[in-house]
Amino acid sequence: MRALALADINSNSNSNNTKTTTTTTTTATTTKTKTATTINPDRPFLTNYRCLWARFPTKQAGLSPGAWNETHGTGCAIQLFAGEGTSVIAIYERLEKPTRERIRFGPDDEAAFVARWGDLPLAKDLTVREAYAMKLQAGLVGLEEGVVRTWSWGGCVVLVGDAAHKFTPSTGAGCNNGMVDVVVLVNELYAVLGGGGGGLGQDRRGGKEEEEERDEREEAIAKAFEAYQTKRRGAVEKFCAASGKATDASTWKNGLVKFLDVHVLPYRRVQRFFLDRGAPEIANTPVLEFVEDGETLPAGRVPWVESSAGARAEPKSRKVAGVGA
Ligand SMILES: Cc1cc2nc3c(=O)[nH]c(=O)nc-3n(C[C@H](O)[C@H](O)[C@H](O)COP(=O)(O)OP(=O)(O)OC[C@H]3O[C@@H](n4cnc5c(N)ncnc54)[C@H](O)[C@@H]3O)c2cc1C
């Protein structure tokens, strides 16, 4: 079975990166269907921006914990978030030309970046250069964007987090979506395997019977992987697009977004409108379905929704203490 699957990969990758095949193999005892096997392109992500990030001590920088700031401009934008102990900045710069090549930056690139944008103010009496000089950690990275087409291979390999989808960090959604991926995937696997792992790794009997059971289990896991992708795909595509748009707007990619960024989006009513539109989806964030409730979550205007992973449910309060409208 595996050898045949590999032959499939090769024939697909030789012909057309977008092709989907279903392979049916007949053995002495059973007919088994290998599920859809789509090969992803070598470079699925597009890089439009590079980003210098740095972490530095809040107190030394003269910032108050909780302070934050966004500065927008042509081709460049800055975000600053001050925490209790340390603060973080991200400086976004649009590339001259988008690329699908993987970009790696070295110390010279980082120094040139700081030389270019170092004079920009982060706060009163604090510039990018000064904050960078206090850095505890820093890095210059290409911001890859996109959603990989196929997230799993049979019941053997499955992608979560940045391996499956990458966003610009403007909306702080990348890592969060990776964690939601894991929640949805675990729910799907739990439904198939149960809490004990469905006997994974416990085959003792050997021979044909064991092989059949293993194939059946692999097929069930493959279906769980596919269900996971189906449930997550729409959401991550939306988040990816929204993050890209936020970065475009903050770096004034064109006259229209500059106009909206300067004259429309700063109004609190407009911001509230967009936040309210997004809130129901956040309230419906998937949870581990097999874990008993009991967690106390902060209450907000929009109540948490008890839902199966990715499925929309009628809004109702999550069954936890202290949560409600
Ligand atoms: C500047 C910046 C700010 C961000 N801010 C936020 C934010 O505020 N909120 C948010 O939700 N997200 C944020 N993100 C996104 C977030 O960092 C990523 O979405 C998250 O780190 C992805 O986690 P991951 O585990 O999927 O992948 P990664 O963090 O990339 O982890 C993959 C790991 O696998 C290792 N690895 C790779 N190849 C191999 C191999 N062949 N063998 C063994 N190990 C390997 C890598 O070294 C790495 O440790 C930000 C990203 C950037 C760049």
Closest atom of ligand 1 relative to the 178 alpha carbon:
26
Residue 83's Cβ-side half-sphere holds a number of Cα atoms within 13 Å equal to 8
C-alpha to C-alpha distances, 240 to 108, 144, 169, 237, nearest whole angstrom: 30, 11, 10, 5
Residue nearest to atom 6 of ligand 1 (CA): 172
Kindly report, residue by residue over 59-78, the tens digit of the pLDDT: 999 999 999 999 999 999 99
Residues 126, 61: Cα–Cα separation, whole Å: 7
Higher pLDDT, 65 or 293: 65
Kindly state if the Cβ of 51 falls inside 6 Å of ligand 1: yes
Name the phi and psi angles at 267, rounded to 5.
-70, 130
- Whether 163 is covered by a domain: the verdict is yes
Instruction: Choose the final residue of a domain: 116, 147, 178.
Output: 147
Q: Provide the b/e sequence for 198-234 (b: ≥16 CB within 10 Å).
A: beeeeeeeeeeeebeeebebbbbbbebbbbbbebbbe
Kindly state if the Cβ of 154 falls inside 6 Å of ligand 1: no
Ligand 1 centroid – CA 105 distance (Å) = 16
Residue pair 198/192 in contact (Cβ under 8 Å)? The answer is yes
Question: Is 242 found in the same domain as 183?
Answer: yes
Q: Is the pTM of this model over 0.85?
A: no
Kindly state if the Cβ of 176 falls inside 6 Å of ligand 1: yes
CATH number at residue 70: 3.30.9.30
Question: Is 252 found in the same domain as 129?
Answer: no
Question: Is 1 found in the same domain as 17?
Answer: yes
Mean pLDDT confidence for 224-230: 97
Residue nearest to atom 18 of ligand 1 (CA): 175
Ligand 1 centroid – CA 135 distance (Å) = 20
Kindly state if the Cβ of 98 falls inside 6 Å of ligand 1: no
Question: Is 131 found in the same domain as 62?
Answer: yes
Amino acid in the structure at residue 29: T
- Whether 317 is covered by a domain: the verdict is no
C-alpha to C-alpha distances, 126 to 61, 121, 210, 274, nearest whole angstrom: 7, 6, 66, 31
Kindly state if the Cβ of 139 falls inside 6 Å of ligand 1: no
Question: Is 262 found in the same domain as 170?
Answer: yes
Residue nearest to atom 15 of ligand 1 (CA): 174
- Whether 299 is covered by a domain: the verdict is no
Mean pLDDT confidence for 208-236: 92
Question: Is 170 found in the same domain as 143?
Answer: no
Closest atom of ligand 1 relative to the 143 alpha carbon:
53
Amino acid in the structure at residue 98: P
Give alpha helix (H) positions in 128-206.
128-133, 174-193
Question: Is 198 found in the same domain as 77?
Answer: no
Question: Is 68 found in the same domain as 33?
Answer: no
Question: Is 20 found in the same domain as 63?
Answer: no
Residue nearest to atom 30 of ligand 1 (CA): 162
Share of the chain above pLDDT 90, in %: 64
- SS3 of the chain: helix, strand, coil, percent, to 5: 40, 20, 40
Q: What is the DSSP letter of 260?
A: I
**Beta strand residue intervals within the chain, DSSP E:** 23-26, 31-34, 46-57, 68-73, 76-82, 86-99, 121-123, 126-127, 137-147, 152-153, 157-158, 165-166
Question: Is 139 found in the same domain as 153?
Answer: no
Higher pLDDT, 208 or 222: 222
Kindly state if the Cβ of 234 falls inside 6 Å of ligand 1: no
> For the chain, what is the domain count?
3
Kindly report, residue by residue over 106-143, the tens digit of the pLDDT: 999 999 999 999 999 999 999 999 999 999 999 999 99
C-alpha to C-alpha distances, 194 to 27, 188, 198, nearest whole angstrom: 28, 10, 6
Kindly state if the Cβ of 118 falls inside 6 Å of ligand 1: no
Q: Tell me the residue range of the domain where 191 lies.
A: 149-290
- Whether 57 is covered by a domain: the verdict is yes
Question: Is 155 found in the same domain as 258?
Answer: yes
- Whether 314 is covered by a domain: the verdict is no
